[in-house]
Structure 1
Amino acid sequence: MSFESVLNESEFSTIILENRSAYEQDLKAFNELLQADYLYLGVKKKDSISVLIGLSHHSPIAEIEYELKGSPCESVLLTGPCGYESNVCEYFPADNTLEALGAQGYLGAGLINERSRDIGVLVAIFKTPKKDITEWLQVFSLQAKLFFTQLQKDFFAIKTARNLSLIDEISRMSKTGSWEFYPETEKLIWSPETYRIHGLPIDSEINFQKAIDFIVTDYTAEITRAFENLRNSQQPYDIQCQIIDTSGSVRWVRASGKAEFYKNGAVKRLFGAFEDITEYKTALILNEDRAKRIQSILNNINDAVFSIDAKGTITHCNDVALKMFGYTRGELLGHSVEMLMPEPYASNHDYYMRNYMESGVGKIIGVGRQLPAKRKNGDIFQMELSLTESCDLGERGFIGVIRDISERIEAQDTIYNLAYTDPVTHLRNQQWFHQRFKDLMLRASMNQEYIHILLLDIDNMAQINTRFGFGNGNYAIRKVAEQLLFVIGHDYEIFKYGGDSFVVLSKKTYRKEELHKFYSSLVESALLNPRHFDIMLNSVKWSLTASLGSAVFNPQGQSFESIINVIEQAVKRAKRSAPFGLCHISEEGFKEFDRYLDIKSKLEQAIEHDELSIVLQPQVTHDGTVSSFEALVRWYSKEFGPVSPGEFIPIAEESYAICEIGDIVLRKALNVISSFMKNGLNTSIAINISARQIVMPDFVNTLLSRVNQFGIPPNMLMLELTETALVVDIELVKETMLELAKFGFRFSIDDFGTGYSSLAYLKVLPISELKIDKYFVDDIGKDSDGKAAQIVDAIIEMARALNVSCIAEGVESEEQLNYLKAKGCEKFQGYYFSRPEPQAHWEGLQKNTKLP
């Protein structure tokens, strides 16, 4: 149903079809008088008439449609109502519908709307002549008008209902209802939405007092007074107040009222709107609360916050701004921000603002900058300003955040010193060294030049700290620093590096042909002068010692980290020559260190990929009979080829890798013993145990688990320990050895005479064998003064005194063998008898086999 203001064909059809029953009854009532054979209402279409409802005598007929042209209905629509007493088909021979109906008489009248346009017809057809047709024509015409009047009434009823529905929907959407009050009758009328706002059923009985009862008490007097002023003085009102609806919920409403008058000026009615503004008020209150919270936040941060307009006028500031600059709020708001700037910034500010507003280009917008600022008392201080453009209600402005950084600037020097200065020696520290060294490396790399770097580490600071305390330890470090600072000269600078280390770095760089100008040996000698390390502590003279790593290198192709690693490795090597050990590394040393790093990085992979194997070197008695073997580890790398144990074992000893290698050798040696025993050969095998391995908490359990796994008697293993291993933690080593000896394990002291072990401990340890180091055996027959032979004699005698066997390794000549036999050595090992060979080489070995 459209909302056309004039009834047309579409609305005509809709109304008839929606009210078919009522219109059929009207047709029947009319036909009671007319007695037509056919009576119907039809709607005009473009070129036809469509029968909407009709009667055949008193029975409804189906909807039909017929051509308008050549029909009597065409004449009705053109000339007005008409009637034919009889023979109507002769007048309209082209009308097949009349012929089909057997029509004789005909009555027709048009249905004409407000704009005098025919939109339909009322038609009566008689199968017999209707002699009084003329008399009925006027009645028929009036009946058509009655039908149209009813159609129009229904049309306006539907239109009104639809309009009211639309108004109600709009009221719902806007949450706005209406009210009317008629003073003459004291009658109050509410719209549906007003009922809904109050939570009342629509059309509930309502009056002024009931309406007032919904108002929250705080607003009752105001609303009552406003209504009375409207009633008595016709003063309109628009008030926001609160009501409590029937569910007990509090709502915000906007109530308004006006008066309508009669022509004589008397009040006809009072009317107005009633709008639910709860959501708006809630949002407004929320925004107000948010604004208060924001203001509270701004007042509680440590930064000053200003808002200024496009002219540079201060429009807002927080409490911190007042405190920072010393003004009251009234002294700042409405005044130019220039008052917070010293010259020349104040004078130039207007120009900068105008330029930015015209061009949109400003160096300070969106970028924090350090600038001077001026307090009310004239003091100038440094601030950090961050300025952002804003837009409020279409007006451009700026928000500035200011931080007073004067205290921070004052603290920066202190922080810098704390960050880059050693607190004990007051020398520049490791961080400063890193930066200076990287700069020097860059300069030298660009010019293909060389640098000299030295790392000096004090050897025995732990003893000083333990004996005299850390305070005296720091004093000793400070005194050493003073001495070193005095001797390094103008071409070098010194830095504190770690707890008890110093880095000395050349200030200059040199071309290759100028390397002699480094005077590296002079600097090294000066740094290692023992007099620099004599310190008086608690009236006692204490002599410290140091180790020095030194490197001259071209940094091109080297990383900072690799150079640091090289110089630290040099110090480790220097400590092997302690006290006052020195290790000087040239360019060849860097290549050697690269090899060291490569081996170190690939060693873990070698362990994981089972690249390690063992070879066996026989140990023979006086007559050449093989009595036992020593298992020696070998590494054939897929990348490096064969790697010497002398190269990778020291690297492994720096980490847990030596324990993993020890376990591999143990398992492979036990596997060999198991294989030998299956072939009837009960030959023991000696394996080396590292210092790190023997002090592992689970060493005893792991060893027992391994021999039990292979079913090997413990006495078939000879555990070789170096004297260095004994002194790592002698009490723990002693406890471990005694526990293992209970199970039948035997121990040999390897490389005897080269370490620092105490003879007192050798007496109480469960040792089965002393092994004379190859170092002493090599010099038998070559030593002009006979010292090597005397040491060998002493070791053999000591073994005899300790009631343990003695074995010499590194025997390579008959002369050496004869000498050792003559002195009473019991077993021998070396190339004279056999090189170390893989297990397969010894598979056919028989009991009592002799080697030439």
Structure 2
Amino acid sequence: MFYFRSQQRPYHAPAMLAAIITMIYSEFYFTIYSNFNDSFNIIGHLIKLLSYTFLYRALVYEMLAEPYSKLQQSQGNLEATLAAVPDILFDIDLTGRFHNVYFHSQSKLYLPPERFLGLSAHQVLPEHVAQVTMTAIEQAHRRSGCSDAHQYALTIGSEQETSWFQVIASQKPNTKGIARFVLAVRDITLLKNAQAAEQINALAFHTREAIIITDAEQRIIRANPAFSDITGYSEYEVIGKMPSMLYSNLHDSAFYQHLWQVLAHDDVWSGEIYDKRKSGEVYPIQVVINALRDNNGVVTHYIASFNDISKAKADQKRIHELAFYDPLTHLPNRRFLIEKINETQIECARSKEYVGLFFIDLDHFKRLNDSFGHSYGDELLQQLAARLKLSISITDTLARPGGDEFILLTKLKTTEQHGAAADAEVIGNKLLDDIRQPFVLKGHPYFITASIGIALFNDNSKAIDELMSSADLAMYHSKERGRDQLYFFEQQMQHKLRQRQQLERELKTALLEQQFILHYQVKVDAKGKVAGYEALIRWQHPEQGLLSPNVFIPLAESSGLIIDIGLWVLKTACLQIKKLTQEGLSIPIAVNVSELQLGQQDFVDVVKQVITATGIKPTLLELELTESMLHHDLARTRQTLISLSTLGVTFSLDDFGTGYSSLSYLKNLPISVLKIDRSFVKEFLNETTDHAIVSTIIGMAESLKLAVVAEGVENEEQFQALNAMGCSLFQGYLFGKPAPIKN
């Protein structure tokens, strides 16, 4: 309500305005309709009309001036209120878009105010701040009121100072369209520091122990001087950061996961951790971490106190080395070796994998000491220790029990005795060769050899002293046989090893002299018509006659000779395909491929070269694989098979059902033929289980549109039954034994 004041008396402005308008109208009427001859009367009316008009303007101005004055006063009051409030206020909608910013000159703004307008929180704020902002807005919207107070740390300005802020959202009433909110952001850095200082003072902050305090989100809010002395980081450098900046990466995620689980349950964790200083040096600490909770049981802070235990650890290491290591070569001593053998016996008793114990004794070492003095002998032992350490695996143990003796304990990673002996021989010969290399003692070359005795074990049935005595005895046998060689303790094993060595030498000769031949076993269709052949290698031994592949293929695979033998088989089989083609017979031949061949980097190129050189159709070459070959690096195997398949080469899966059969092989690999193993075919007419397996394989192959070859068909009854079950191809003695193809 407005009032017009004149002579200290209030008047009702609207009523007066109405009266004045009436008088203006009247004077205007009289002026228009008066006698124009009465000029004096007309002038009087005009003067009244003009006066009333000025009075009207003054009254209207008075009516408008008073609310405008009050509006200015209200705006001034609002500005004064905002200036007194420590918060930064944002007008923001439900999508996080800023519409206005209210702040005072002392406010810490992340960006100039104009940078916020029209943009969303995710566009202008760091991600963690934007997430806190949206959480507060969504919470206020759900409540149709105010949100809880949320906190975050933010680095502002060129000085990169980390400040702490608290944010509260409040929904504005009577908003139309998208909901609008007032977002109040308050700088609580001083409060945070005060809280931290209070906690620090309570824990005797200035101690020789390093102390850091974090908030509930594990951000560091205080660190004491001892922390800086130990880590090299100043308090300023770590405020707002996570303790993970100190991690050495020597502990895995499971270690820290367990730490936090214990801390959450017990509110305290203590133990040893390897951290990293600012300089990059990794060092051990003894740490205690406490979780602080408020009256409601909610964690508010974490306090960690720790000591640098590098010196203590170094002292422990020196004591351990004196007790368990040889001071001359720094290799483990006899005491350490005995403990290691005991641990290894327990492990191999479970795994059944063989372990080799090598007793190494230098030949005529005494001559060196007697001729040149013990300093020369010590230098040779040191050089030999360093040399041998480079030749062994990181999991092996090389020890010096004393004098000129060394003992090597190595895991051979095989459960097969003969294979273990072969591997041990390779290692032993490598050691002998390393020892034969010249030493340089005080500028002079010196040569020496060694005798090695080997004892193998794969359980804990023998006492450690007995094992070491066995290796020692084998070493003396080596010396008796002329030195500079190795000898196995078990005579029977030694004999078998020599046989294996002889057979390997003969295999190499067989390759050079072309002593291998290929026999071919026919495969027929349901009508008994020849549908293909399988190439099978034989060794025409000059003394032992025709040898089955079972005699020499395992040795060829373990020795690596299978690569060359397999290439010979592939070439020979492709030449046979060429001969059949020239005779007008387009009959495919299957060739068995070993795992080593398939694993060659250039296997695809090798097959291409053979196909090109012989000029055969790739579709007539079938490569047979076994399930066991597909267990390792299936992705790479798949790529190899697909590359060959694009050429036209086909693939069959041999011995199907005997291994860890997986439908994924059939789904992911370009297999076109399944071969039912002869072990199922042999008794499928009498054994219901075998019959079910054969029937299942045939049915599955039919569903997958794969051909099926039944191996080991030896009589007509088997042939007819398999034929009736839908088997497509047959192979066995009923149709012919493996033999050369008569051209």
Q: Same fold (TM over 0.5)?
A: no
TM-score normalised according to structure 2 size? 0.38
| Rg (Cα) greater in structure | 1
When normalised by structure 1's length, the TM-score is 0.34
RCO comparison, higher one (Cα < 8 Å, 6+): 2
